[in-house]
Amino acid sequence: MSFVRIAVSGVLRTWDGAERTGVNAAYVRALLCAGGIPLILSPLMGASLAASALDGCDGLLLTGGEDIEPSWYGAEPSPFLSPPSQDRDLFELALFAVARQRDLPILGICRGIQLINVALGGTLYQDLPSDRPDSVDHSPAGARDARSHPIRLQPGSRVAAALDATEITVNSVHHQAVENLAPGLIATGWTGDGLIEAAESESGASWILAVQWHPEEMYADSRAPEHGLFSALVTEAGLAGRSSVGRGRKEDTIAHAVERTP
């Protein structure tokens, strides 16, 4: 049996007086439900090891977490910016660059859609309540799997096909979001006031799908449409010829190029 291996970008946290690295278990559970094998990649590896870290992986999942350093997209820090992690930014930018070079399918979640947008030349709202005040609360109090606001999806888009819907009510846990969409990405999901909630790559380009909400938190509901996002990633990653084992190592130069101070 051939297993589809999905690299999952991790975080570094201090908890109970000790440094710990990993991911929220919901990401792992969601990928397992879709038939994938999650492989957690810690930012402690550093950008120079991004190419080696992706060896043997068939796809990449970029997870949620810290704000992104605004100098990556030419902005001054907002007073409402949460502390970024330069090490994580560098590692994930390198992972993204290598994954694209190897034509690995990429799914971005929350911070993931933001990182993809920045990596391709887009910009972000650093803090929605101050940069873009609106009636939609994108970070409401309550459980992480509580659905809080509706979004509309572009009919015929990759995200609409994965969710088998053109409208869905999603959970929401973020204060940053896509402002100017990067070249090469197509917006395919929006809130009622036009904030981008989903984006994907153009036809013929490397497979990218990214969403602003947290679909992994719905893993326990077998009927949740969000399972379709992870299934789409695993299915795409499982196509013949996706494995990076044995490929050339020219991607190392990409990782080293990213490893710089923004």
179 given a catalytic annotation: no
216 given a catalytic annotation: yes
Catalytic residue among 57, 92, 110, 227: 110
The helix/strand/coil state of 231 is: helix
Q: Phi and psi for 98 in degrees, rounded to 5?
A: -70, -45
Q: Which residues lie below 8 Å from residue 170, measured CB to CB, with a gap of 6+?
A: 147, 148, 149, 150, 151, 197, 213, 215
Q: Looking up tokens 């809130």, which residue turns up?
A: 191
The answer to whether residues 15 and 70 touch, using CB atoms and an 8 Å cutoff, is: no
**CA dist., res. 6 & res. 93, Å (int):** 17
Catalytic residue among 69, 92, 179, 216: 216
110 given a catalytic annotation: yes
Catalytic residue among 138, 149, 174, 214: 214
**CA dist., res. 44 & res. 53, Å (int):** 11
Catalytic positions, please? 110, 214, 216
